[in-house]
Structure 1
Amino acid sequence: MNVLITSAIIVDPKSDFHNETVDILIEKGKITNIAKNIKNPKNYKEVTFENLHVSQGWFDSSVSFGEPGYEERETIANGLKTAAHSGFTSVALNANTNPIIDTSSDVAFVMNKAQGQAVNLYPIGALTKHSDGEDLAELFDMKNTGAVAFYDYQHPISNPNLLKIALQYASNFDGLVLSFPQESKISGSGVMNEEAMSTSLGLKGNPALAEALQIARDLFILEYTDGKLHIPTISTSKSVDLIRAAKQKNLDVTCSVAIHNLVLTDQELQHFETKFKVLPPLRTPSDIEALIEGLKDGTIDMVTSDHNPMDIEHKKIEFDYAAYGTIGLESAFGALNKVLTLKKSVDVLTSGKERFGIARSPISVGNTADLTLFTPNGNYTFSKEHIVSTSTNAIFDGKPMKGRVYGIFNNNQLILN
């Protein structure tokens, strides 16, 4: 596909044109020219938007689509469409399907379903068979088929010896192990953050201690094994402190935070709305402050929408019994852009690729075009009309947003909103 993007502000520190306003010529999926006022004698499709910014394509390290098994929540095709309209050119797919993605054939299935799409899909294989925490899954075979990491989505590894063995085994083929940060015996049946709000609402609490204990344990095991660990969706100030100290010891650890944990607090639950029931739970303002500081100083490596569609039958029920999860792709940039600078927002939306072994493509002549088109300006309120997902369990419904996604160019395809 041939496209001329006009008057675009490049946001890419790895590009020679960073912070410059230029035209970008793309021919057959590759960037062939970047300059001021490129002529268009061949009448290529021109892409022009108000206050257009262009960055490397964004990456989300934690999305769930449902297929296979839960297609009523989200199919792979519609999930990738949602990602494209949300500005993401690459996503890592969690294994929480039915059946669980725990074999090489399961990995091949979801990769085949994503063929020909504008958005790249990278499967995360389950760490244990059926994600039941008992026996390791086919890690090496899944890696060879295309899995970029191994994770029992939102299932803590209760057996410390299993994590030890997983880190040691995966290090033989540079495998990335993910461990959900929650000590289940401490969190118990808690459904929200354990603080004053949980007491006033009469809901069982999930204390910050449960997250910190699990992370402390995992980091001790990581140091012992000299493995490679990613801790997804941290949510507390103590977690930031623990990971910061581990990085100062040069342990091979990275972590992410869900965007809703950067913006919303447990005060949102005062009306028992189940759209705010997420895992890890929404925490306190002091936790948010620490998480944002952790992003700024590099302790937290990336953000994620933690997009997890749920059908209405699992959300429109009593709070204690409602399923965890929110959709988040469509609101990701608008919410993040309210709490971080533009430079930092783009950085944490793109920097996770290397950790998951995914090549980045700087905005330079000769490189494949892997681009996100957006504006950081403009305020609006997120509502149902902005949802592309099949499910509508949106934690940011009714919340203020800043900035809009115009679309993406990737895999020689242009997707515009």
Structure 2
Amino acid sequence: MNIILKSAKIIDSTSPFHNQVVDIHVKNGKIEKIAASITDAEANVIQLEDLSVSPGWFDTSVSFGEPGYEERETLVHGLEVAAKSGFTQVAIQSNNNPITDNQSIVSFIKQKAFGQTTEAFPIGALTMKSEGTDLAELYDMKNAGAVAFGDYKKAIDNANVLKIALQYVQDFDGLVLAFSQDKSVKGKGVVHEGITSTTLGLKGIPPLAEELQVARNLFLLEYTGGKLHIPTISTAKSVELIREAKAKGLHVTCSVAVHQLIFTDAKLTEFDSRHKVSPPLRDEETRQALLAGILDNTIDCITTDHTPLDIEHKKLEFDLATSGTIGLESAFGALNTVLPIEVIVDKLTAGRAIFGIETTRIAVGEIANLSLFSTQGTWTFNKENILSKSKNSAFLGTPMQGKVYGVIRQDKQTFIF
């Protein structure tokens, strides 16, 4: 590899070149030189309109299906989609078939993903078969390459199981993920409980269903110590509870999904199951509270929560459809309509520190781990913009701003220009 990125604006608050427009020379997988002007007769020169470069983005929650659900998405193709969407590294959820609850499946995912531009980091299930009863082989999975442990979209009802998990993983500095939704309070709810659910006649899920679990899980963390990550929070009270826990010094982090920052439950008036997600889309007041939580750093990172689903599971009556939306290919363009670019880059890269993955920065001598993009230009996300095998995007018809040009990671590259 021998590439010169011409006239690139660096977006990296940790770099001495932050907000400067410079040339970047990437050679043999490393940043060879950064200067106002660089020439190399043997280099491949890349000069793009309004080119910005940041540390490579890391998504803390994607699902690809393989093994078991290859009709939804495969590992190799999913990683290609991630690369074309600007992500150099992703954490892959455990909701395969079989569930990722042992070291052999972790090893399978690592081996199948080897050699791709985007690097895969498996998340192991916290409990066997994600049934919430017995702890899975956490230490063995850690040794095989798992970066965290959680049962995807399943809350641990038994508080003692979560307590023991938080205590056990401290022996090897493990990270526990605790999706927070009280099943008994949720009941048969399918959307946010509010004016829209009442108007449409759909059973509601009150914010209390999430907040009870968040409060309980924070109490457990205070008792046990250790590290807890609460993924995809969706209520203003959850933000407040986590803010208070951080002020106490608890080692808690959290994420929010892109679609929670863009949409509200007003999208549900057409009963379009593409907007059925878990946790559900909330109201405008809540969306603003989540954005405020991003800006004051209570919310640590943003995830696409990318969940491919085939038509048999998604194109159904709203009550029967499975929750989830794809989100990799629409993430940057959507976020760029609601947040400053420096905040977007920070929240799309902060997950590395949380998940124990080596952080990167744009400086001479550093290993190349770069996302290339433009912040300019408006467009609308349509079917032709979907790169995933599954087409269940909640973002169809959504205004976007900016576009991704591709990624460079070590000696690998994926460009879409």
Structure 1-normalised TM-score?
0.99
Q: Distance between the aligned counterparts of 1:242 and 1:320, measured in 2?
A: 30
Deviation at 1:47, TM superposition (A): 1.1
2:74 maps to 75
Deviation at 1:307, TM superposition (A): 0.1
SS at match of 1:102: coil
SS at match of 1:166: helix
Q: Which amino acid in structure 2 is aligned with residue 322 of structure 1?
A: A
SS at match of 1:408: strand
Is the Cα–Cα contact under 8 Å of residues 295 and 301 in structure 1 kept in the other structure? yes
1:310 maps to 309
1:18 maps to 18
Q: Which amino acid in structure 2 is aligned with residue 159 of structure 1?
A: N
1:59-70 aligned at under 5 Å gives the runs: 59-70=58-69
What percentage of residue pairs aligned between the two structures are identical? 57
2:206 maps to 207
Q: Distance between the aligned counterparts of 1:60 and 1:412, measured in 2?
A: 21
Deviation at 1:41, TM superposition (A): 2.1
* Structure 1 residues 210-251: Cα deviation after superposition (integer angstroms, max 9, x where no partner): 000000000000000012100000000010000000000010
1:39 maps to 39
1:149 maps to 148
Is the Cα–Cα contact under 8 Å of residues 52 and 374 in structure 1 kept in the other structure? yes
Q: Which amino acid in structure 2 is aligned with residue 124 of structure 1?
A: I
TM superposition outliers: structure 1 runs of 4+ over 6 Å = none
Q: Which amino acid in structure 1 is aligned with residue 51 of structure 2?
A: L
1:254 maps to 253
Q: Distance between the aligned counterparts of 1:81 and 1:15, measured in 2?
A: 28
Q: Distance between the aligned counterparts of 2:87 and 2:404, measured in 1?
A: 10
Q: Distance between the aligned counterparts of 2:210 and 2:87, measured in 1?
A: 29
2:7 maps to 7
SS at match of 2:129: helix
Q: Which amino acid in structure 2 is aligned with residue 255 of structure 1?
A: C
Q: Distance between the aligned counterparts of 1:116 and 1:343, measured in 2?
A: 30
SS at match of 1:402: strand
Query: Does the alignment pair 1:285 with 2:284?
Result: yes
Structure 2-normalised TM-score?
0.99
Is the Cα–Cα contact under 8 Å of residues 119 and 411 in structure 1 kept in the other structure? no
Q: Distance between the aligned counterparts of 1:414 and 1:132, measured in 2?
A: 39
1:122 maps to 121
Q: Which amino acid in structure 2 is aligned with residue 219 of structure 1?
A: L
* Structure 1 residues 393-417: Cα deviation after superposition (integer angstroms, max 9, x where no partner): 0000000011100000013112111
Is the Cα–Cα contact under 8 Å of residues 117 and 411 in structure 1 kept in the other structure? no
Deviation at 1:2, TM superposition (A): 1.1
Q: Distance between the aligned counterparts of 1:213 and 1:408, measured in 2?
A: 40
Deviation at 1:199, TM superposition (A): 1.0
1:92-111 aligned at under 5 Å gives the runs: 92-111=91-110
Q: Which amino acid in structure 1 is aligned with residue 328 of structure 2?
A: L
Q: Distance between the aligned counterparts of 1:130 and 1:411, measured in 2?
A: 35
Deviation at 1:360, TM superposition (A): 1.4
Gapped regions of structure 1 (runs ≥ 5): none
Q: Which amino acid in structure 1 is aligned with residue 143 of structure 2?
A: N
Q: Distance between the aligned counterparts of 2:190 and 2:410, measured in 1?
A: 41
* Structure 1 residues 250-276: Cα deviation after superposition (integer angstroms, max 9, x where no partner): 100000000100110001011100000
Deviation at 1:200, TM superposition (A): 1.1
Deviation at 1:25, TM superposition (A): 0.6
Q: Which amino acid in structure 1 is aligned with residue 146 of structure 2?
A: A
* Structure 1 residues 28-67: Cα deviation after superposition (integer angstroms, max 9, x where no partner): 111111001101222x111111010000000000000000
1:380 maps to 379
2:234 maps to 235
Q: How many residues get paired?
A: 416
Q: Distance between the aligned counterparts of 1:16 and 1:95, measured in 2?
A: 38
2:195 maps to 196
SS at match of 1:353: helix
